């Protein structure tokens, strides 16, 4: 059974992911859409909390970094 921290972290990441998916779909932004999808899958693939937080921050920054080009 997952701990409370893992459940809340997964809920937070999934909420951020849904925001990126909605934004990516409405703005026709493939980087935001792909980042949102990756954020949805992330909690299922990574169980270490610190690694999950690091990857979440990286995936959140990715659309911003790609749009500056």
Could you report the per-residue pLDDT of 18-69, keeping only the tens digit for each? 999 999 999 999 999 999 999 999 988 988 889 999 999 999 999 999 887 6
Confidence of residue 6 (pLDDT cuts 50, 70, 90): confident
How far is 33 from 30, CA to CA, in rounded Å?
5
Alpha carbon distance 5, 59 (integer Å) = 20
Residues 51 and 2: their CA atoms lie apart, in Å, by 16
Domain locations along the chain: 4-67
Distances (CA, A) of 49 to 20, 24, 45, 59, 63: 21, 26, 11, 15, 23
Q: What is the pLDDT of residue 23?
A: 94
1 pLDDT higher than 80:
no
User: What integer pLDDT is reported at residue 35 of this predicted model?
Assistant: 95
Mean pLDDT, range 7-20, rounded to an integer: 92
CA distance 54 to 67: 21
């Amino acid at each position: 059974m997952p701990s409370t921290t893992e459940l809340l972290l997964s809920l937070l990441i999934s909420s951020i992911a849904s925001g990126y998916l909605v934004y990516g779909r409405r703005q026709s932004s493939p980087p935001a859409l792909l980042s949102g999808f990756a954020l949805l899958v992330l909690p299922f693939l990574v169980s270490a909390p610190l690694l999950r937080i690091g990857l979440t921050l990286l995936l959140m920054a990715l659309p911003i970094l790609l749009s500056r080009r």
